[in-house]
Structures are given as C-alpha cells and as structure tokens.
Copies of this chain bind each other. A is one copy, B any other.
C-alpha cells in the first residue's frame, strides 16, 4: 500500500509539469496556481504541484492497493493519450512524427498510415505568443481607425477594456480554471515584457533634458518615493490600528503594500504622456522619476517583505542599516552594470564593418545582458537598461551603418509598442480572472492617500527644487506632475508576487492595487488631456530648431565649456562638450 498511488501521482505531476513547460514562455502560471488553488484536485491541470508544496498529496491520491506495478503503467498511458496528453514522448513529435503518441492515430483508424495528422501541442507555445502579438497589433490598428474613441480615451485605457472583455469571454467560455492561462504573470512581465519598453526609453532618452534636470528627477525619484511610501504606509496602518479600516494587516505588510503602490509607473506614464505632448521639462521630470524610482521601490519592497517574513520583533538595527546600505548598492550597481554593457556594445560595434547585418544584435543582446545581469544580483534592472541605452547610443550610432541604426531604432520602437500593448491587455485580462477580496475602507483610504500624498510630495519637493533651479517649475506644471503620477503593471506584478503564507490578506492588497491602477489610468488618464488644455500647460515645441538657432546653441555650449576650462570650475557644459 502506498507506493503505487504515489507512482500515479508522480506521473500525473510529470504530465502536468510537462504541460506547464510547454506553455511556459507565454503563461508561466505555476506561481499563480500555487497561490490560489490550495484545494485543487489531482486531475486539475497543473494543480498537482500545490498539493505537494502543501504536503497534501496523500489526501488526493486514490488509495488503490493494486500489487501489479504494470497496472500503474497502463494507467499512465491512458492518461497520456487523452486530449491534453503531453508525456515526455510528445516532445519528440516535432517534424512529421506524431504517430508516436496515441492521439495521432485517432483520425484514421488504429495502426493505419494517416494522410493528415493533427498535433497542436508541439507548436503551442510559439503559436500562442504569435496569436497574442497579432491580437495586440490588430487592436492597436483598430483603435487608431476609431478616431472619435481615440480622441477621448488614451490607448492604454482601451487596451485594458479590451483585456477585460477578452477576460470575460474566456471566463464565460472556459470557466475560471482555464482562464488562468491568460493572466499577466510576474515572470513573463519582468523578463520579457518590461525590458524592451525600458530599453527604448533609455535609448531615446533626451539626454540633455534628462541630465539638466537630474537633480529634480532624483529628488522626486528617491525622496518623493520614500515620502509616499512612509506617508501612505503609516497613515494606512494608523487607520487600521485605530479601527477605522476593518482589516487585519500588520505594520510591515502595510509598508510592503505602500512601497509597491507608491512608485509612479513608467509604462503608464509613457502611454499617457506620449499623447498629451507637454513641454520637455515637465515630461522628463515625471518620466525620469518613474524610471529612477525603480531602485527605491526594489529596495523598499524587498526590505519590508523580508522584514515581514522575519517577523516584526526579529528586526534589529543591523537589518535597518543593511536595508539602507542596499539602497545605494541596488541603484549604483544597476547603473554600473548598464554603463558597462553599454560601453561593451559600443566597443564591439567598432569591429563590425565586415558584417553589417548583425550589428543590431549587439545593441539588443548587450542591453538584455545588462538587465538580466543586474536582476541576478537583484540590482535595479531598470536603472541598468536606462543607462545602458544612454551610454551606448552616442557610440553605437557612429559605429554602425545607417541601415543598421534605422533597424535598431525602428525595431526598438516596435517591440516597445507591442509589449506595452500586451501589458495593458493582459492587465485587463488579469482583472477578470482574479478572486477579488473587497474591503471598502482600505480601497477608499488607499486611493485617497495615494492621491493626496502624491500632491503634497510634489508641492513640497518642488518648493525645495525650485531653490536650485534656473527654470522654475510653476504651479500648473506641478499640478500636472502630481496628476500624472500614474500607477501600473509593475505595482500589479509586485503585489501578485506576494506570498499568501506571509501576508494572508494578500487578496485585499491585490484588489486594492487593481483599483488604484484602474483609477489612475482611467480617471486621471482620461481627464489629463482636457486639463492640460484647460490650464494651458506649456506644450512641446512642434518645430525643429532652425539652423541659426542650432549654430548659436552649439556656440554657446562651446563658449561655456571654454570659460569653465579657464576658470577651473566644472559645470554641465564641460561634461557635455568633451
């Protein structure tokens, strides 16, 4: 007794994990399954894994007491030949040899040579990806053909709505279980969907505006995010402690939540700000903040989550110091990784004059390596990508052929555009399929705090920054900076990464995050354009500088650099011109 049922389980596990493996690229749902389906049965797709982690295999296994080991084997092949059957065997059915697995014979009688065979499984992963990309692209075309809708709603909102509709369809047709395959999972997001967008942002970064405003950007990214995190977290905990919000959430989980919800999201900001064409300073301050706050978010999220796991009473002074130290390491190391790989790409492209056609490879591969290398050590991958893009651009542009550079730029934009589309669509999809846990008080106060502390932070920090700025940020711009602080997919992915065992109230946090993401993207995203027009926010210059302006500008820069050289002080002109 005992060993054979377990054998069956092993085989079931292998089958389901194999199935998982096939779908791994698109829909790495193992994680979410583990979280949500603690009471799933053995037959559910891939639900078996949880049973193991929960140490509950024995309860699910039928207690057959057969003594014949071959009986079990027969069982297995029975499972193999069902509709979803993907034993290790099916991995071989790649190029014209389905007949290994039983299902292939299905069509044309047992044992006869089949004229046409059908086997979807072996191309499932790339096929599903291709279909999603196609759908995303078609959606994009469709929206742009609808001029009236496109003028009111930002594209991101329409994509979320499309995602929700698709989610409802999957929900109704397949039931909740199957729609699990189509949620935005964190692995796919952080490894494949996010990097192209950030790379594009870094590569096309208006470096001059960025470095001219780096002080303001850093102030908002670091101090602003810290302020938001602590203000939101402390106030929420205060209300929970005071009994205003009826939720059993400790201090540290509160801080974890506030750390992930505080950061302004680059993807959401990009999607909205691209359409409203505000002036460059305003754009770069908000967008730069959304990029550079990644280091802060990573550290705060990581820190509070670790503290939560350790337990509040276990946290010692040394942990707090470690946290503070890792703060600098995560950001600076990310930056260094980025610059290193960026310069490496610049160096390698010096030798490609004989093989022009592979030049774009280096740009993309080096950027990816920068990101993944930073992620290995849990440094800020976003910082790495941004600075990889910034540092390689000038050199790569000169080294590679004009056609290569067109391809690099165009393909980068294309990839980023598609990934953005997929992210918003998946965000919509994920909303439908999730088991929501609603807590009105928590949702309301989170939303309120997110909104007001953002404004307080912006007003306070701008007041400080304006002391050091030549060009003052006026109140109208400050309002847009506060109003444009959108939250997005990064927050969502971080909240679904939380461990339900450590934070049992995770579902509430997830639902609240979704509400905040939706609110900022819909309410603020839709109204920001009219407000920008109403307040007469200084717009982006539509015309290119004339030749005269350009020559004068360059002359001024050179003169400045010369004066700085003579005087012996080093300002931004020195760096810029040398």
**A residues neighboring B (CB under 8 Å):** 1-3, 6-7, 9-11, 13-14, 17-18, 20-21, 24-25, 28, 30-31, 34, 49, 52-53, 55, 57-58, 69-70, 72-73, 87-89, 91-92, 94-100, 108, 111-120, 122-123, 126-127, 130-131, 133-134, 137-138, 140-141, 144-145, 186-187, 190-192, 298-299, 301-303, 305-307, 309-310, 314-316, 318-319, 322-323, 325-326, 329, 348, 351-352, 354-355, 357-362, 365-366, 368-369, 372-373, 375-378, 381, 403-404, 406-407, 410-411, 413-414, 417-418, 493-494, 497, 499
Contact = CB atoms under 8 A, between A and B. Distances in A.
A577 B13 CA distance: 60
Nearest to A297: B96
B497 A95 contact: yes
Given A7-B57, A134-B365, A96 B301 contact: yes
Contacts of A407: 406-407, 410-411, 414
Q: Chain A binding site: helix, strand, loop or mixed by DSSP? A: helix
A122 B89 CA distance: 26
Contacts of A359: 414
A39 to B, nearest CB: 17
A33 to B, nearest CB: 9
B127 A372 contact: yes
Contacts of A499: 92, 100
Copies of this chain in its oligomeric complex: 2
Contacts of A117: 377-378
Contact of A3 (B3, B123, B410, B413): B3
Contacts of A13: 10, 13-14, 17
B69 A130 contact: no
Question: Which of the listed residues A299, A322, A357, A418 has the most CB atoms from chain B within 10 Å of its own CB?
Answer: A357
Contact of A375 (B18, B122, B316): B122
Contacts of A403: 406, 410
